[in-house]
Chain A
Amino acid sequence: MKGAEALLRALEQEGVEVIFGHPGGAIMPTYDALYDSKIRHILVRHEQGGVHAATAYARASGRVGVVMATSGPGALNLVTGLADALMDSTPVVAITGNVPRALIGTDAFQEADVTGVTMPITKHNYLVQDVNEIPRVVKEAFHIAATGRPGPVLIDIPKDVQLADFTGDFDGALDLPGYKPTTKGHPKQIERALDALEKAEKPILMVGGGAQHAHAELLAFAERTGLPVITTLMGLGAFPGNHPLWLGMPGMHGTVAANRAIHHADVILAIGLRFDDRVTGKVSRFAPHAHTIIHVDIDPAEIGKVVRTHIPIVGDARLVLKEMLKGAKPLRLAGWWRELEEWRTRYPLRWKPRSHLQSQEVIRAFYEATGGNAIVTTGVGQHQMFAAQFFPVTRPRSFITSGGLGTMGVGLPFAIGAKIARPEELVIDFDGDGSFQMTLQELATVVKYKLDVKVVILNNGYLGMVRQWQDLFHAKRYSEVYLADSNPDFARLAEAYGIKGVRVERKEDLRKGVEAVLNADGPVVAEFKVYHEEGVFPMIPAGGAAEDMILDHPEEREREEVEA
């Protein structure tokens, strides 16, 4: 048996069913072995598409996503996707070929120090020097990727190691003396947390991506206690977006109710989130009335990193919630809820209707037509925030977006990965004209595997989010954000790939357009020409606090006042 075959055997042993990837010189022995393997391979058109697809596969399924690439350029094309997976704590294993051992360090053809390059953007990485180490390394890589705080792990294997004769075995044990994640929360701390909640007058429950797998326990805990729930962008779907206890998303483009709740809260129970600056705004002004912050996270390094934590609980969100549920009592929060209810009803998420077609109404129309029953993926930008605001997902693992890294171009490859993980689901990618063009070559992957994904491009002819910032903070100096003069006809572009193209320009055609997308048998790329000057609101400017929230574009407000 060659090293390459041992590698595939080890992957099969880990239960790998699908690998996203792109072949090349230094990984060819493994692709040769793949020819005889049961593992399904999805050929992408760019390695970045492969790693994003593997990421979404992991996020949608709860399993480890696997991507494969050749040495040098192939491996380096994974960099953005690995960083994205690390920031959003996603279990991905990347396997890369490398030049033969004898050539390492000689600037050989297609050589790059991939373990060196990916060190800061992976949870761990390996350069396999001995063919017999392959099964152990694979076992460790999957264990590290999937346990503790999940994250990407890279295995770099020189070509001659893939070709070497394997004489080892597959039953080796894990040998990771320095890796022992704490999963069970400390009982004393849990007790203190419950006690603090019981004494609280204005408590809130904040939930991040680390609670996606704890949705059942979370729902039970929230319902038992009656705590108001706020979910971050990564936490969307971990708690049902149509539940009466849900206040929405916090932070820069969060709801008024969620941000005011944080601002006035006296006790915050934060689970599986890392207090990103897009959530906290200016940290010194974050939650000024909170005398007790309880932080549950599996990664001890996250606790106290950004905000001061009074009750730290290191552990897995699901196990900690399970324990907390045992001692949880209904809390008396009627007065607090009256306040929250007032903010919620007075400041719902809304948009100012215009004569032109608008992103928000397109997303809302899809929400209504599907009953929210879909997996949503997004690119990065205004459309991403609109999707988060107006497509409230009700089930976990159903809103797949790039939170931490904010990677433009993830929408389409995310949709591919999600569809392969959950083929029975409707998958909609809400994308921007800018975002979509960063990875649109993956339409070929959609065609090749006949993946029924619906790509909805909200085309405003701009890099909309940058434009919005230039509008508000750079005196309308729209530096290099105009795309409309050079955008393709997206519907025709889709047709060139053999995919159904839909184009909607007028408000009155919205419903018809939505139906055309949803009723199509197979993939669709739909372009909705939306209002070009739309802004995402509410908004807390970067470095601001909840009190600095802007509800509408300042000029629009002035215009309204003049008209009145």
Chain B
Amino acid sequence: MRHVISVLVQDHPRVLNRITSLFARRGFNLESLAVGTTHVPGLSRISLVVSGDDHTLEQVEKQLNRLIEVLKVTDHSEPHVERELCLVKVHVAGVEERLAVKDIQEAFRARVVDVAQRSLILELTGDSKKVDSFIEALRPYGILEVMRTGAVAMSRGERTLKVREKREAV
């Protein structure tokens, strides 16, 4: 089963290294990983996607929690928002293709962020399934490059990734 996990970490050098090396040596399969800073200085937030049974997932969470710089681990089993950003450079042979690609772009509510004579770069955000379908829709025209960030996630509603009562939520 696919799980999206959020991890709050201290923003130290090598902390990402520790996390990925933990996944490698414990044989957990990491599907994607996205990292960014938060509004609290010194804290970063990681979204990662793993697949596995309950036992694997329990171990993933426990092993992550063992890392000294990990402050909080949450499995998003509850309602949550999940997004991925994707850039696709697609080949457009002529006017006909350009119009067809534009149709797809509109249908998915993507944006054109670069226009060249024989190619376009499209930008799309959405959950991973939407990104998959988008890429499939463009495939017949000749995809030149794809870049996906991997999923980022956040719980819906009041729930936040809290560390301690006193600390501000992030």
Other-chain contact of B66, A116, A120, A299 (Cβ < 8 Å): A299
From A144, A299, A305, B59 is in contact (CB under 8 Å) with A305
Q: Are A115 and B14 in contact (CB under 8 A)?
A: yes
Contact A178 B21 (CB under 8 A): no
Docked-complex contact B13 and A127, CB < 8 angstroms: yes
* CB 8 Å contact bits of B10-30 with A (1 = contact, 0 = none): 100110011001100100000
Q: Is B67 an interface residue (CB 8 A)?
A: yes
Q: Does A332 contact B (CB under 8 A)?
A: no
**Residues from chain B with Cβ under 8 Å of A115 in the complex:** 14
Residues A116 and B68 in contact in the complex (CB < 8 Å), given A177-B163, A178-B10, A301-B63? no
Cross-chain contact of B9 among A116, A124, A178 (Cβ < 8 A): A178
B97 within 8 A of A: no
Identify which of residues 1-53 in chain B touch chain A, using a CB-to-CB cut-off of 8 Å.
9-10, 13-14, 17-18, 21-22, 25
Query: Does B59 lie within 8 Å of A178, measured CB to CB?
Result: no
Q: How large is the interface on B (under 10, 10 to 19, 20 to 34, 35 or more residues)?
A: 20 to 34
B75 close to A (CB within 8 Å): no
| A119 in contact (CB, < 8 A) | yes
Contact A301 B163 (CB under 8 A): no
Is B69 a contact partner of A178 (Cβ separation < 8 A)?
Answer: yes
Which residues on the A side are within 8 Å of B164 (C-beta)?
A: 177
In the complex, chain B residues whose CB is within 8 Å of the CB of A124 = 68
Residue among B9, B25, B62, B164 facing the most chain A CB atoms (10 A cut-off): B62
Q: Are B63 and A179 in contact (CB under 8 A)?
A: no
Q: Does B120 contact A (CB under 8 A)?
A: no
Interface status of B58 (Cβ within 8 A of chain A): yes
Instruction: Kindly list chain A residues whose C-beta atoms are within 8 Å of the C-beta of B167.
Output: 177
Does A301 lie within 8 Å of B10, measured CB to CB? no
Could you say which of B18, B62, B63 contacts A119, with CB atoms under 8 Å apart?
A: B18
289-322 of chain A: CB within 8 A of chain B: 299-301, 304-305
Q: Is the CB of B68 within 8 A of A179?
A: yes
By the criterion CB–CB under 8 Å, are B25 and A178 in contact? Answer: no
**Which residues in B have their C-beta under 8 angstroms from that of A144?**
68
Give the docked Cα–Cα distance between A120 and B24 (Å). Answer: 10
Among A123, A144, A176, A177, the most chain B Cβ lie within 10 Å of the Cβ of A177
A299 to chain B: which residues have CB within 8 Å? 66
Q: Does B70 contact A (CB under 8 A)?
A: yes
A119 to B15, alpha carbons, bound, how many Å? 10
A175 to chain B, nearest CB (A): 9
> Which residues on the A side are within 8 Å of B69 (C-beta)?
178
Is B65 an interface residue, CB under 8 A from the partner?
yes
CB pair B65–A120 under 8 Å, yes or no, is no
Roughly how many angstroms separate A119 CA and B59 CA in the complex, as a whole number?
A: 19
Known: A119-B21, A178-B67. A300 touches B62 (CB 8 A): yes
B53 to chain A, nearest CB (A): 13
B66 contacts across to A, CB distance below 8 A: 299, 301
Does B92 reach chain A (CB closer than 8 Å)?
A: no
Known: A115-B14, A119-B17, A178-B9. A301 touches B71 (CB 8 A): no
* Binary interface encoding of chain A residues 166-190 relative to chain B, with 1 for a CB under 8 A from any of its CBs, else 0: 0000000000111100000000000
CA distance A124 to B69 in the complex (A): 9
Please report the C-alpha to C-alpha distance between residue A178 and residue B164 in the assembled complex, in whole angstroms: 10
Q: Render A104-131 as a binary contact track against B, CB cut-off 8 A, 1 for contact.
A: 0000000000011001100110010000
Q: A116: which of B17, B22, B58 is its contact (CB, 8 Å)? A: B17
Contact between chains at A177 and B59 (CB < 8 Å): no
Contacts of A120 in B (CB 8 A): 21-22, 25
Q: Which residue of A lies closest to B8 (CB)?
A: A178
Closest chain A residue, CB of each to CB of B26: A120
Instruction: Looking at the assembled complex, report how far the CB atom of B166 sits from the nearest CB atom of chain A, in whole angstroms.
Output: 11
The 8 Å CB contact of A301, one of B13, B14, B62, is B62
* Closest residue of B by beta carbon distance from A303: B62
A255: min CB distance to chain B, Å: 31
> Which residues of B sit under 8 angstroms from A116, Cβ to Cβ?
14, 17
Contact yes or no, A178 B71, CB < 8 A: yes
In the complex, which of the residues A177, A178, A304 contacts B58, with contact meaning CB atoms closer than 8 Å? A304
Alpha-carbon distance A299/B14, docked complex (angstroms): 23
Complex Cα distance A328/B71, Å? 36
A301 with B59: CB separation less than 8 A: yes
Decide yes or no: A176 and B63 within 8 Å by CB, A119-B18, A120-B25 being known contacts.
Answer: no
Question: Given the complex of chains A and B, what is the CA–CA distance between A301 and B14 in angstroms?
Answer: 22
Residue of A nearest to B18 (CB): A119
Interfacial residues, chain B to chain A (CB-CB below 8 A): 9-10, 13-14, 17-18, 21-22, 25, 55, 58-59, 62-63, 65-71, 163-164, 167
Question: Which residues of chain A have a CB within 8 Å of any CB of chain B?
Answer: 115-116, 119-120, 123-124, 127, 144, 176-179, 299-301, 304-305
A-B contact pairs, 21 of them (CB 8 A): A115-B14, A116-B14, A119-B17, A119-B18, A119-B21, A120-B22, A120-B25, A123-B68, A127-B14, A144-B68, A177-B10, A177-B163, A177-B167, A178-B68, A179-B68, A299-B66, A301-B62, A301-B66, A304-B55, A304-B58, A305-B62
The 6 A-B pairs at the shortest CB distance, nearest first, are namely A301-B62, A178-B71, A124-B68, A179-B68, A178-B70, A120-B25
